[in-house]
């Protein structure tokens, strides 16, 4: 089963609390999401393999470490996943970026695909799939299936707030995918919103409500 990593670093928890507050506006919400994405990126890449290279410092030759292995693709689930790109790109400046467009149908709460554009060599890359909210898990599971259909074999899911239902669904359907989240909240409500959650992430990022 994929591992659930709950990243409880004090800086992340502090920033998340401000994001949850209903009085926090879009500007601060966006900035905090970007900062948290950067901090999460540190954890998501923690086990990247290293290899030795020979270099010369101004004083002598040495054997030093450099990242080896697959290149990275960042794939946000539209819309809200976009808010996590910039923080990650600060850490991984040459990563390619794909986009998967999904929205939840308001009555069935099932995801509907409306866009998919991925780097042509995505099957050769280590993929970080971003979406701040893991609620029922339907969107994440469908996005992971789309990535796998494109040949991806190394996928990690980066979220901000998760519900137990969403975690269970991803772990059941995609046991090879690790989940990185800042919080595991109590439950989903009758509208499949995460409680206590932070509301609608897309609306809060883009100021659409």
List interacting residues with ligand URA (CB under 6 A): 133, 135, 193-194, 197, 200-202
Active-site option among 17, 108, 153, 208? 108
Look at residue 77 and give the partner it binds from ligand URA, ligand PRP, none, a contact being a CB closer than 5 to 8 Å depending on partner kind.
ligand PRP
CA distance 207 to 209: 6
In whole angstroms, the minimum distance from the beta carbon of 184 to ligand PRP comes to 14
Number of residues that this document lists for the chain: 209
For 29, 74, 93, 199, the CA distances from 96, given in Å and listed in that order, are 25, 6, 9, 30
Please choose, from the candidates 152, 171, 163, the residue with its C-alpha nearest in 3D space to the C-alpha of residue 192.
163
Size of the site for ligand PRP (CB under 6 A): 23
Burial zone of 89 (CB within 10 Å; 0-12 exposed, 13-18 middle, 19+ buried): middle
H-helix or E-strand spanning residue 180:
strand 178-181
For residue 131, state whether it binds ligand PRP (rule: CB under 6 A): yes
Closer to ligand PRP by CB, 48 or 114: give it. 114
Closer to ligand PRP by CB, 43 or 165: give it. 165
Contact 150, 181 (CB under 8 A): no
Of 47-55, 87-95, 96-104, 174-182: span binding ligand PRP (CB under 6 A):
96-104
Closer to ligand URA by CB, 177 or 201: give it. 201
Site for ligand PRP, rule CB under 6 A: 77-80, 102-104, 109, 111, 131, 133-140, 166, 192, 200-202
Catalytic positions are 104, 108, 200, 203
């Amino acid at each position: 089963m994929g591992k659930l990593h709950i990243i409880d670093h004090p800086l992340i928890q502090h920033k998340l609390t401000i994001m949850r507050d209903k009085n926090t506006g879009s500007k601060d919400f966006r900035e905090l999401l970007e900062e948290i994405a950067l901090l999460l990126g540190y954890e998501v890449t923690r086990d990247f393999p290293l290899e030795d290279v020979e270099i010369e410092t101004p004083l002598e030759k040495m054997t030093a470490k450099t990242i080896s292995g697959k290149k990275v693709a960042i794939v946000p689930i539209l819309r809200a996943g976009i808010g996590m790109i910039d923080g990650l790109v600060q850490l991984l400046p040459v990563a390619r970026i794909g986009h998967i467009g999904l929205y939840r149908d308001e009555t069935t709460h099932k995801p509907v695909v409306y866009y998919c554009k991925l780097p042509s060599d995505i099957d050769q890359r280590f993929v970080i799939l971003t979406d701040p909210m893991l609620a029922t898990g339907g969107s994440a599971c469908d996005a992971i299936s789309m990535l796998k259909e494109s040949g991806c074999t190394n996928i990690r899911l980066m979220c901000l707030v998760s519900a137990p239902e969403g975690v269970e669904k991803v772990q059941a359907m995609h046991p090879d995918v690790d989940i990185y989240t800042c919080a595991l909240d109590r439950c989903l409500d009758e509208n499949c919103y995460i409680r206590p959650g932070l509301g609608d992430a897309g609306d809060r990022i883009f100021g659409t409500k």
